[in-house]
Amino acid sequence: MHGASSLPFGHSAGLQTSDDQLDDLLPATYRGGFFNDRVMVASPSLACLEADLLVEKLNALHSSLWYVGRPMPPRPLHHQEVIRRRIVITEQMALHLVWTRQHRIFLKPVPRYLLSLEFWTRHILCPSQASTDALGCGSTSLEDCERRQKLVGCALGFLFSYTALIAHESDFRIACDRGLLPEGVSWSAWKTLSRDLLRRHDYGSVNRRFRYGELRLSRLDEVCRYKHGQLGGYASTDKYRLYIDFFQDNLGKIASVLGYVVVVLEALQVGIAARYDRTFVDFAWGFAIFAIIAPVSLLLIVVLAFLIAYWANWRATKHYHRKRLQYIQSAMLDGSEKSDGVSVHIDSI
């Protein structure tokens, strides 16, 4: 664990902010609700910080992450360009460091509030973790402190990932150009911050997701579908946008298999013509039957998979439609959405 103070970095590192500037470090709004379909004003509440930092979905897949990525820090930004990966900005922590077969890697920019020691002591750390001269979060609830412990683990792991991503000044320039670091952070300040973070780093203090670096999205989808029965996969970034895309992709694979089958059949015909052998003829006859049945079977499998996916999508859409309308009607009766003591009119959704 960290030292007695549990502060992620020293007072000389990070952004210097006053107490009345802390709210300005947060985003304008955040999304919440079971379906992530509510827009709420951002505040330094547990709900807002959890929506921004937690990686519960990846933690649920932790036992399978050995198949998805390597237990090592991510490679620097300049190396991502060397291997022709295009940096795509995401604000979802669950997609941070996830890469796709289209040569994209998703990176979450560093939030301003994570570089403010004052914000850490007031809104992230528990009083037992904050330094003795800090006000701390003021929470006396054991449940709140446990929730904050999760926030601390994710925040420390996230910042640790950036000490690996931004190793050289060239990485720093890439990060600034792509908006991965807040404005006002200099190269010398980043070196100081990285040095403090690494001196206090301990894998026992960070969320276990950050024991791994880059994660492969296609394999995350496989784990979700085949191990956990989630037909939609891990994320919607690589899903089929149109049904025709589904058929084009899968029928193209069947066509490739059929091409190989045709080559084998031609070779068998040549073999029979060159030399008659009863065993060889029987094998050729069996393979010919297989060549007739296999394409039809594969086509039926594709159609069945399409029907299952279509039914699951239709069912989920109807369920969401019903729940969302119930929520909107309820909100209209109340006149506003309420979250964490902040009212947001329904017109803002």
Top-confidence residue, 101 or 299: 101
Report in angstroms the alpha-carbon separations of 125 from 86, 132, 156, 161, 341: 35, 12, 11, 20, 22
- Those residues whose C-beta lies under 8 Å from the C-beta of residue 348, and which sit 6 or more positions away, are 39
Of all residues in the chain, what percent carry a pLDDT higher than 90?
44
Instruction: Note the pLDDT of residue 83.
Output: 95
DSSP string, 132-188: TTS-------HHHHHHHHHHHHHHHHHHHHHHHH--SHHHHHHHHHTT-S-TT--HH
The length of the chain is 349
Say what angle helices 46-53 and 142-165 make with each other, to 10 degrees. Answer: 30
Q: Which amino acid is at 144?
A: D
Residue at token pair 């004052």: 118
Q: Which amino acid is at 104?
A: R
Q: Which amino acid is at 60?
A: A
pLDDT digits (tens, 9 = 90+) for 174-201: 999 999 999 989 999 999 999 999 999 9
The overall pTM is greater than 0.85: no
Q: Is 287 left (phi over 0), alpha (psi -120 to 50) or beta?
A: alpha
Does the pLDDT of residue 51 top 70, yes or no?
Answer: yes
Contact (CB, 8 A) for 9 and 193: yes
Token couple for 290: 């297989």
Say what angle helices 169-177 and 187-199 make with each other, to 10 degrees. Answer: 110
pLDDT digits (tens, 9 = 90+) for 93-107: 999 999 998 899 999
Instruction: Note the pLDDT of residue 288.
Output: 76
Mean pLDDT to the nearest integer, 40-50: 92
d(CA 262, CA 259): 5
Token couple for 197: 């973070």
Q: How confident is the model at residue 128 (pLDDT cuts 50, 70, 90)?
A: low
Q: Which amino acid is at 101?
A: R
- b/e code 91-103 from CB counts within 10 Å (16+ = b): ebbbbbbbbbeee
Please count the other Cβ atoms lying within 10 Å of the Cβ belonging to residue 184.
10
The phi, psi pair for 133, rounded to 5°, reads -90, 0
